[in-house]
Amino acid sequence: MNNVFKYLCFISLFFIQPVSAELADTLEKVKPSIVGVGVYTPTGRPKNVLSGSGFVIGNGRYVVTNHHVVPKELNVKLLQEMAVFVGSGKTAKVRKASLIASSERYDLAILEIKGAKLPALSLASSPYIREGSSIAFTGFPIGSVLGLYPVTHRGIIAAITPTITPVSDIKQLSIKMLKKLRDPFMVYQLDATAYPGNSGSAMYDAKTGKVVGVINKVFIQESKEAVISKPSGITYAIPVKYLHELLEENNIKL
């Protein structure tokens, strides 16, 4: 029995520890590029409202997030501005931001921030990564109630699946779902759990730190799980392929 126990311990040390250490090393490089996205109201209480997560790419002033995270309108009378929150803890700083590209179809948005450059993440070049690949994502699952503290989840690509879930009864189809049925696109389904504040988080290769997708907790889930009486809470991500397309369409050079 002792020999078996020693063998199992050896296997655990050999296989499990390197993976954890590998992700820890990757995370050190990734975290400085993770930001919050929301609204800054200088005369408001609170002044800062975080609505989702984002990450820095390219020249250090481009920020990627979900289209639905970007505020639809700003109150001019209150001097509201779109903002990106950088740093960590309770001393996070506000950077004014402007929308320079977006795609409602793929629920992606690219912002440009003012001020000094931030560390940027690299985008994977492959359109998709294989099912079973190890990934991680970092963002703000519960917002900034206690300050800006990025949280990391890890898992695997569980499936590459269309955005639409087939239904048995036509009455279950919404107008939004009917539109998407005409031209569905493929997304990642994950075995890791994200939360609403994670929308826009960078999903990256656990080993290299290269971005392979963008977490989407609301937009895709509503389409795929609209007919489920008790939503499963499955997490989805938009492949980086569509981010590359958005960058190219808007002539944004990295």
Q: Beta-carbon neighbour count of residue 197 at 10 Å?
A: 22
For 34-82, the pLDDT digits (tens) are: 999 999 998 888 888 899 999 999 999 999 999 999 998 898 888 899 9
Render each residue's pLDDT in the chain as its tens digit; 254 residues.
455 444 445 444 444 445 567 899 999 999 999 999 999 998 888 888 899 999 999 999 999 999 999 998 898 888 899 999 998 887 779 999 999 999 999 999 999 998 999 999 999 999 999 999 999 999 998 776 667 889 999 999 999 998 865 444 455 555 665 565 566 899 999 999 888 889 999 999 999 999 999 999 766 655 555 444 455 568 999 999 999 999 999 999 88
CA distances from 216 to 62, 121, 190, 203, 232 (A): 19, 18, 11, 10, 15
Could you tell me whether strands 48-57 and 211-216 are parallel, antiparallel, or unpaired per DSSP bridges?
Answer: unpaired
Instruction: State the DSSP H helix or E strand holding residue 236, giving kind and residue range, or none if neither.
Output: strand 235-239
What Rg do the C-alpha atoms of the chain give, in angstroms?
Answer: 19
Q: Taking phi first (over 0 means left), then psi (-120 to 50 degrees means alpha), and beta for anything else, what does residue 15 get?
A: alpha
Q: What domains lie within the chain, and their CATH numbers?
A: 134-240 (2.40.10.10)
For 205-215, the pLDDT digits (tens) are: 999 999 999 99
**Are the C-beta atoms of 80 and 97 separated by less than 8 Å?**
no
pTM of the model: 0.82
**Are the C-beta atoms of 52 and 197 separated by less than 8 Å?**
yes
